[in-house]
Amino acid sequence: MVRIESVTPWLIPDGSGEKQIAAFIAEWLADTGAEVEIVEVEPGRPNVLAWLRGTGGGPTLCLNAHSDTVGYANWPDQALLPRVEGDRIYGLGAADDKSGCAAGMLVLRSLATSRRRLRGDLLVACVADEEGVSIGSEHLAQQGGIDAAIVIEPQPTDVLVVEHQGFGWIDLITHGVAAHGSAPEQGVDAIVQLAEVITRLHRLDREAFARHPSAMNGRTVFHTGTITGGTDYATYPNRATLGIEIGTQPGEHLSDRVAEIEVIFAEVAQAEPGFQGKVVARLDREPFKAQGHERLQEVLVAAMTDVLGRPPKITGLNAWTDAALMQAAGIPTLLIGATGGNFHAPGEWLAITEFMKLCAILEQATANFLS
């Protein structure tokens, strides 16, 4: 699966998307007796849905993992050439998140060939575009018919995630006045004004987010991402734009972060005559907090304790996943995964023995939940 390029074109315009990986997954599952369907969410952007039907009268459990990846410009000669060294497999998506897709596929095949009779239905969903704007899980969650979900993302195998941060992608735009470089009495420097905003954002991160982390989800996410501005060396810039990613904790909304930014704008306006600032939210993803998940958590904790020899750590996450979309649709959802590292970076890896433990956990929990 690592050899099949499935970069989301939302991030990288020439990325292939999930069409080829979806075809591979569907073909691999074809002889299991499952009902396998490739569903195009958008042209060339498919989900793969594989249903293993039970005898009837039980719930439907979804194992959700994403088949897309980020780009690999920083390691083009190695990313799509998987290699095994010791207990690790290296390659793009080896952990994030083709390991999740592979775990769901293996669990379905194992249950299909076992003699254990399940009352409920298992749905393995290998979804598109989690690394973009999650059109795959959005589409899946809106279809209904799912009673509970386990989202699979790389993380320590002994961790059970019951909540995590939300986030927003925001553009902060400052407007100046273009003028000849020798006419300071006419020009208003939009880049200087943006620098004042950046300085205060850094202070907010250092004095508020770093000093007061969530006990479950850690420090609220903040970082700059992109910056543009100006036209040439000789002209005062009349516009500058900063792109940021900023987090929200359960119980918060992106409007809380926007209000903090507007306070910063007011401070800058006091110091910089002619300041004009604008906040444009490009993407808003709410935090995740599991609800109605008690039965699912019971079987997962039992399976993790049995396989790992100790109870899992039940905690949160300082990142965002499709679990938020599943739970927002009213589907009780939890998040687990297998240990890996270097996500979104050269040398991405997955611990093979931890992956095998994840498969065992998922199979046991699925069988118990659906029996």
- pLDDT of residue 285 exceeding 90, the answer is yes
Res 5: pLDDT = 98
Nearest to 127 by CA among 18, 37, 16: 18
In sequence order, the β-bridge partners of residue 151 are 64, 335
Res 273: pLDDT = 85
Residues 84-119: tens digit of each pLDDT: 999 999 999 999 999 999 999 999 999 999 988 899
Name the DSSP letter for residue 131. T
Q: What angle do CA 97, 100, 104 make, to 5 degrees?
A: 150
Segments in the chain forming alpha helices (H): 19-29, 98-113, 135-143, 190-204, 254-271, 294-308, 323-328, 352-370
Res 286: pLDDT = 97
Residues 239-270: tens digit of each pLDDT: 999 999 999 999 999 999 999 999 999 999 99
Residue spans in the chain of domains classed CATH 3.40.630.10:
19-164+287-370
Average pLDDT, integer, range 319-341: 98
Q: How many CB atoms lie within 10 A of CB 338?
A: 27
- Kindly report the CATH number that applies to the domain delimited by 19-164+287-370: 3.40.630.10
- pLDDT of residue 308 exceeding 90, the answer is yes
Peptide bond into 97 cis (omega under 30): yes
Q: Where are the beta strands (DSSP E) in the chain?
A: 35-42, 45-52, 60-66, 83-85, 88-90, 121-127, 148-152, 159-164, 166-175, 222-229, 239-248, 277-285, 288-289, 313-317, 333-336, 340-341, 349-351
Question: Residues 315, 162: contact at Cβ < 8 Å?
Answer: yes
- pLDDT, mean over the chain: 97
Question: Residues 66, 321: contact at Cβ < 8 Å?
Answer: no
Average pLDDT, integer, range 149-176: 98
Residue spans in the chain of domains classed CATH 3.30.70.360:
167-284
Name the percent of the chain lying above pLDDT 70: 100
- Split at pLDDT 50, 70, 90, the class of 348 is very high
Res 115: pLDDT = 80
Q: How far apart are CA 312 and CA 357, in angstroms?
A: 13
Residue 99, phi then psi, degrees to nearest 5: -65, -35
Res 289: pLDDT = 98
Can you give the length of the chain in residues?
371
Average pLDDT, integer, range 22-43: 97
Name the percent of the chain lying above pLDDT 90: 98
Average pLDDT, integer, range 193-216: 97
Residues 35-86: tens digit of each pLDDT: 999 999 999 999 999 999 999 999 999 999 999 999 999 999 999 999 999 9
SS3 289: strand
Q: Which fold has domain 167-284?
A: Alpha-Beta Plaits (3.30.70)
